[in-house]
């Protein structure tokens, strides 16, 4: 029986391995992690991450050929194929601080593999890593090899949170990069055989190692760039009276452009986009490509601009101050159908409003109060470390309370800010919400989910990103 071990039981490791186990009953899959709480959660009925369809998949194979364990060394030493899906945070100090990937966790995983291995291994990079990481890992492994042969493959993951299970079952492509040597090709084939259990062969692409690593960074940069492009357009639409949804629709009808990823919003978030672009920028700079680096940097700058612009809209619309005013925050996750808050735009918007002394009542159907308080008190980039190594704030932010539902969050509020596109925000009883709010009552829709006309008829003053401005907003101070 082929044995797979995956180091890192997070958003990528957990779902990816569950889908492999389900589709390959003849393979034993063990997911290991240094976080005891995470592994305990995987072994309980309350999984550590929320992802539609994940529960059902895990239920079918847990205890059959899918296992979760903290006994890392045992399972690594027994495995034929080792996936490494650990955190790759942005460095906060030293060379490349604020841009380069911190490979501390990757390197320690590689050294541990070298220490405990007694048989030949295929080591698969699942984490998103800077180009040429495989080479560094290869050096660590071969310098400590004791005669054991290692083949390194790059198999970046393209799943999107919120649709991870469907993405894993029907991937657009599976990418496998490896060495173009006989042993390298054999290793590529071994991994191909795993995916071939359910992925059509023409969707499995093989490349050299560096192309695979760079393709992942490039794909995320292109996706984020589309969002920044439409968000930049949204500012122009507001200034000129065009409607960004109409513009997106017209643009997306061009088959060369396509309709996906063209929704204007308060900004992109998630653990990958910013981190991967920063990485790309750093690699370009290291290779003397300043113009290319600056080009990609702009994608992040526009994203930051969009979040600031939103905060400025809120404050300027509400008589240039939100001090002491209650604002209901609808949604904190970085997108719907996930409880993940890493780099969520809600964090920056909330911090901006708190900076103007607002009182916030935050509601999200999937994010815990503890997580929200942790996010609002954590330093930039600290979130991307294993949970038990993240600094915990001794006290939460005083002006923030967590609400059980949208109605509680909006009670007596001066304004609502919709920051995640949860479906339930489309069908709230806005009449009831309006009746319980201070007047004038504002809705700032950062995801364009509400029916603007209906809300205006109820009496709300509504701001919707990239849409023709409410007359009220037109008369307020200009927004930077």
Binding stretches for ligand NAI (CB under 6 A): 7-13, 32-35, 38, 72, 85-88, 105, 108-109, 127-128, 157, 159, 161, 271-272, 386
Residue 267, Ramachandran bin (φ over 0: left; ψ between -120 and 50: alpha; else beta) = left
Distance, CA of 476 to CA of 110 (rounded, Å): 57
Q: Which residues have a catalytic role annotated?
A: 272
**Measured between alpha carbons, how far is 204 from 191 in angstroms, rounded to an integer?**
10
Nearer to ligand NAI, 131 or 450 (CB): 131
161 annotated as a binding-site residue: yes
Cα 132 from Cα 174, distance rounded (Å): 20
Q: Is 90 annotated as a binding residue?
A: yes
On the question of a cis peptide bond just before residue 440, with omega within 30 degrees of 0, the verdict is: yes
Any binding-site annotation on 343?
no
How near is the Cβ of 14 to ligand NAI at its closest, in Å? 7
- The answer to whether 61 is annotated as binding is no
Question: Are 16 and 86 a contacting pair, CB within 8 Å?
Answer: no
CB of 189 to ligand NAI, least distance (A): 24
C-beta of 10 vs 345, nearer to ligand NAI: 10
Q: How far is the CB of 112 from ligand NAI (least distance, A)?
A: 7
Q: Is 142 annotated as a binding residue?
A: no
Least Cα distance to 385 among 160, 95, 104, 112 occurs for 104
377 assigned binding-site residue: no
Range 222-226, long-range pairs (CB < 8 A, 24+ positions): 223/261, 223/273, 224/268, 224/273, 224/274, 224/277, 224/299, 224/300, 224/303, 225/296, 225/299, 226/261, 226/262
- Biggest alpha carbon–alpha carbon distance for the chain: 75
Q: Which is nearer to ligand NAI, 6 or 465 (CB)?
A: 6
Nearer to ligand NAI (CB atom), residue 39 or residue 311: 39
Is the CB of 85 or the CB of 265 nearer to ligand NAI? 85
In this structure, the number of other CB atoms found within 10 A of the CB of residue 354 comes to 18
Q: Hey, how many other C-beta atoms are within 10 angstroms of the C-beta on 216?
A: 24
The reply to whether 10 sits in an annotated binding site is yes
71 annotated ligand binder: no
For ligand NAI, which is the closer residue by CB, 72 or 329? 72
Least Å distance between CB 296 and ligand NAI?
17
Residue closer to ligand NAI (CB basis): 11 or 282: 11
208, β-bridge pairs: 178
Closest distance to ligand NAI from the beta carbon of 443 (Å): 30
Classify residue 213 by its DSSP letter. Answer: H
DSSP string, 295-347: HHHHHHHHHHHHHHHHHHHHHHHTTT--TT-EEEEE--SSSTT----TT-HHH
Q: Does 315 carry a binding-site annotation?
A: no
Least Å distance, CB 269 to ligand NAI, is 11
Helix, strand, or coil (residue 381): coil
In degrees, rounded to 5, the angle at the alpha carbon of residue 472 between the alpha carbons of residues 231 and 463 is 30
Give yes or no for a contact between 184 and 151, defined as CB atoms under 8 angstroms apart.
Answer: yes
Using CA of residue 19, residue 157, residue 75, residue 4, what is the dihedral sign? positive
Q: In what order do the strands lie in the sheet with 66-69?
A: 66-69, 27-32, 2-7, 81-84, 121-125, 150-154, 174-178, 204-208
Query: Is 13 annotated as a binding-site member?
Result: yes
Could you tell me the smallest distance in angstroms from the CB atom of residue 212 to ligand NAI?
Answer: 13
427 burial via Cβ count (<10 Å: 0-12, 13-18, 19+): exposed
Place of tokens 């389900």: 22
Which residue's CB comes closest to ligand NAI? 10
In the complex, the smallest distance separating the C-beta of residue 59 from ligand NAI, rounded to whole angstroms, is 21
Burial 94-113 (b: 16+ CB within 10 A, else e): eebeebbbbbebbeebbebb
Residue nearer to ligand NAI on the CB measure, 323 or 389: 389
Bind-site residues for NAD(+)? 8-13, 33, 38, 86-90, 127-128, 161, 272-275, 342
Bind-site residues? 8-13, 33, 38, 86-90, 127-128, 161, 272-275, 342
């Amino acid at each position: 029986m082929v044995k797979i071990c995956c180091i890192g039981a997070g958003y990528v490791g957990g779902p990816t391995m569950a889908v492999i186990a389900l589709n390959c009953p003849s393979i034993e899959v063990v997911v290991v992690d240094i976080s005891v709480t995470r592994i305990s959660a995987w072994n309980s009925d309350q999984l550590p991450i929320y992802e539609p369809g994940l529960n059902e998949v895990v239920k079918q194979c847990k205890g059959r050929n899918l296992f979760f364990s903290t006994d890392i060394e045992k399972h690594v030493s027994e495995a034929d194929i080792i996936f490494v899906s650990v955190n790759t945070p942005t460095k906060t100090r030293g060379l490349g601080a604020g841009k380069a990937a911190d490979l501390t966790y990757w390197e320690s995983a590689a050294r541990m593999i070298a220490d405990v291995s007694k048989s030949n291994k295929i080591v698969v990079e699942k984490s998103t890593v800077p180009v040429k990481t495989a080479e560094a890992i290869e050096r660590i492994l071969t310098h400590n090899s004791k005669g054991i042969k290692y083949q390194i493959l790059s198999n970046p993951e393209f799943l999107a949170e919120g649709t991870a299970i469907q993405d894993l079952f029907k991937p657009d492509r599976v990418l496998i990069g490896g060495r173009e040597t006989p042993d390298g090709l054999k290793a590529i084939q071994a991994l191909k055989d795993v995916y071939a259990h359910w992925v059509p062969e023409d969707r499995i692409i093989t490349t050299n190692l560096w192309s695979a690593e760079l393709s992942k960074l490039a794909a995320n940069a292109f996706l984020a760039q589309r969002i920044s492009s439409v968000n930049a357009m949204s500012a122009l639409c507001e200034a000129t009276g065009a409607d960004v949804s109409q513009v997106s629709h017209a643009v997306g009808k061009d088959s060369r452009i396509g309709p996906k990823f063209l929704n204007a919003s308060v900004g992109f978030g998630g653990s990958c986009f910013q981190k991967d672009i920063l990485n790309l920028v750093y690699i370009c700079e290291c290779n003397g490509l300043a113009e290319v680096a600056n080009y990609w940097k702009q994608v992040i700058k526009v994203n930051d601009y969009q979040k600031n612009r939103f905060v400025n809209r809120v404050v300027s619309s509400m008589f240039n101050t939100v001090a002491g005013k209650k604002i209901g925050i609808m949604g904190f996750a970085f997108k719907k159908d996930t409880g993940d808050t890493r780099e969520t735009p809600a964090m920056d918007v909330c911090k901006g409003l708190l900076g103007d002394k607002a009182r916030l009542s935050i509601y999200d159907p999937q994010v815990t109060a503890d997580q929200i308080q942790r996010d609002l008190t954590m330093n930039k980039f600290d979130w991307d470390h294993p949970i038990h190594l993240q600094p915990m704030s001794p006290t939460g932010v005083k002006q923030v309370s967590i609400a059980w539902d949208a109605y509680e969050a909006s009670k007596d509020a001066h304004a609502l800010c919709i920051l995640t596109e949860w479906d339930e925000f489309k069908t709230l009883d806005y009449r009831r919400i309006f009746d319980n709010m201070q007047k004038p009552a504002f809705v700032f829709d950062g995801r364009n989910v509400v029916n603007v006309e209906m809300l205006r008829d109820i009496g709300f003053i509504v701001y919707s990103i990239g849409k023709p401005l409410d007359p009220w907003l037109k008369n307020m101070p200009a927004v930077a």
